Amino acid sequence: MSQPVMFVSHFRVKDGMLDALAELQAVVTRQLEDTKPRTLAFLTYLSREAGQVAIVHLFADADSMDAHFEGAEERSNAAYQLVEPLGWDVYGSPSRDALDSLRNAATSAGVPLTIQPIFMAGFLRARAA
């Protein structure tokens, strides 16, 4: 049985880059919605006071996460002009390639990678009742 995978990335917004980041996120959100149909959720949250953003990615399974990661390097390079990584959290069991990629990125950035691989229970509603 396939199990969901959630990936949360945490960033500090570089000084003076919040407006540019908001514009980039709007473009990337539209792009992902149009080109990554297996990505169930792509949600960005901001803490103005802390100058930080968290981006939540939700996938039905590891294969869906792999499909989302195709082209991620280009998206990440654009974002890194505006933000600095603070760490990543993975919930569920991504593919070995995705996990290796995240470990390498975390090591290169000198930030933590937290992994909670075992899905116990839960559900996702596509629409509220």
CATH number of the domain within which 70 lies: 3.30.70.100
Amino acid 66: pLDDT: 95
Instruction: State the pLDDT at residue 126.
Output: 72
From the number of C-beta atoms within 10 Å of its C-beta (0-12, 13-18, 19+), residue 113 rates as: middle
**DSSP-assigned beta bridge partners for residue 50:** none
Other Cβ atoms within 10 Å of 85 Cβ, number:
19
pTM of the model: 0.91
What pLDDT, on a 0 to 100 scale, did the predictor assign at position 117? 96
Residue 35 has pLDDT above 80, yes or no: yes
Distance (Å, rounded) from C-alpha 36 to C-alpha 97?
A: 18
**Residue 26 domain flag:** yes
pLDDT category of residue 50 using cuts at 50, 70 and 90: confident
In whole angstroms, give the CA distance from residue 65 to residue 49: 31
Residue 100 domain-assigned (yes or no): yes
> Tell me, what's the pLDDT at 1?
56
Domain membership flag for residue 17: yes
| Segments forming the whole domain that contains residue 74 | 5-116
Does the residue 78 lie in any domain? yes
Q: Identify the pLDDT of residue 58.
A: 96
Q: How many domains does the chain have?
A: 1
Mean pLDDT score, 80-94: 96
Is it the case that residue 107 has pLDDT exceeding 60?
A: yes
Q: Is there a domain that residue 121 lies in?
A: no
